A and B are shown apart, each in its own frame.
Chain A
Amino acid sequence: MAKVVVVTSGKGGVGKTTTSANLAAGLASMGYRTVAIDFDVGLRNLDLVMGCERRVVYDLINVIRGEATLRQAAIKDKRLDNLYILPASQTRDKDALSRVGVEGVIEGLKKAGFEYIICDSPAGIEHGACMAMYYADHAFVVTNAEVSSVRDSDRILGLLDAKTHRAEQGLDRVKTHLLLTRYAPSRVVKGEMLSHKDVIELLGIDFIGAIPESPAVLQSSNAGVPIILDPTTDAAQAYMDVVHRFLGEDRPQRFLDPPKRGFFSRMFGGADAPVAAAG
């Protein structure tokens, strides 16, 4: 049975697109037929983060309008056989993203044998975000440990409870997963950043993991290669853990404490919190 997963947050710049790309690549690398759909009509970026921007011919809106088939529009990933990307339109008007149209696309992808359909939501709580979450079975609520992001995540959780197909039809609720991104344990220890426990307590949903703030995230989006494909970095390992937990495995949390630092490093140098990119 295919599962529709929305990656959402309310707030922009917290790491939705990065998470969508890595979740999709992670699931595909484990052998699941996976497609990632970019719902950010007008501001598409998933193609860029996944490194297929030069192969975009048709997009989601073309499919909804019947100007292209799913087979024509979905781009096959060069690295992973099971991975496809359905890009957003760059220019068209957002109203073309109709509920019936989105339903048609998702049904079409299910019929084509996809096991996971990852919907990369635009920021905000407008039409595009509502369409991205409407048919979801699962929701990754991507949150930074910071006041505006937590508040926006709370708003999004309210929408997931009320404005989805599952809510309107009285089916089981959309299963929500809290994913903390750009998490800096060293700043949490100093009391400068909300801890994962604080955010879990505030939002009250299942915690699926934290992705540590890492310069490698920016490097991977620069290169257009999802970071999860380079398992040497901590961010990649954190994303892989998240994928395993999502598939039902019990994996211990590894990235909630600051890395141990030696005497000389504590005395003389090194930044505590390297800067990372959002997507």
Chain B
Amino acid sequence: MRWLDYFRRTSPGSANVAKDRLAIIVAREGRSNIKATYLPQLRQDILQVLAKYEKIDLDQVTVNVESQGEYEVLELNVVLNDPANVRKLGSSSRHAPFFSDVKSNSLSAR
């Protein structure tokens, strides 16, 4: 009964959802992040320094650049498996303003 559609309210479209999802994808993998191409090397370098002091698993280090409005945040997370190490390094983290995004069981500070 097609003519009945005329009286029905149109359902909200899915195009907005598509746009929001794409905006995130394009920001994350897109061309605007060309300067982020040094991230793998940065990750490697930081890992080497940390490895002098602690046993660290390569998979436990993540480096990310995120845009938040007009500025960008460099986020680094190092997860230490040994709870003893977390306490030890965590307590000294105030000397390392480089780290951000506090997570449980991870070495981080603003």
Residues on A lying within 8 angstroms of B by beta carbon are 146-147, 150-151, 154-155, 157-158, 161-162, 188, 190-195, 198, 202-203, 266-269
Contacts and interface: CB of A to CB of B under 8 A. Distances in A.
A268 B29 CA distance: 46
Nearest to B12: A191
A203 B26 CA distance: 8
B3 A267 contact: yes
A198 B22 CA distance: 10
Contacts of B29: 154-155
Given A151-B25, A266-B6, A202 B19 contact: yes
A268 B19 CA distance: 32
B21 A147 contact: yes
Contacts of B16: 191
Contact of B19 (A161, A162, A194): A194
A97 B67 CA distance: 40
A195 B15 contact: yes
A193 B3 CA distance: 23
B23 interface: yes
Interface in B7-54: 10, 12-16, 18-19, 21-23, 25-26, 29-31, 34
Main secondary structure of the interface of B (DSSP, over half): helix
Is the interface on chain B under 10, 10 to 19, 20 to 34, or 35 or more residues?
20 to 34
A159 to B, nearest CB: 9
A166 B99 CA distance: 39
B95 interface: no
Nearest to A155: B29
B2 interface: yes
Contacts of A191: 10, 12-16
Contact of B30 (A158, A193, A266, A269): A158
Nearest to A146: B18
B12 A154 contact: no
Contact of A192 (B3, B15, B19): B15
A100 to B, nearest CB: 28
Contact of A157 (B10, B13, B22, B31): B31
A150 B30 CA distance: 11
A188 B5 CA distance: 18
Contact of A161 (B2, B18, B25, B31): B31
A268 B30 contact: no
A195 B31 CA distance: 22
A234 B49 CA distance: 63
Nearest to A153: B26
A85 B25 CA distance: 38
Given A158-B31, A266-B6, A188 B21 contact: no
Task: Pick the 3 closest A-B CB pairs, nearest first.
Answer: A191-B13, A158-B31, A267-B3
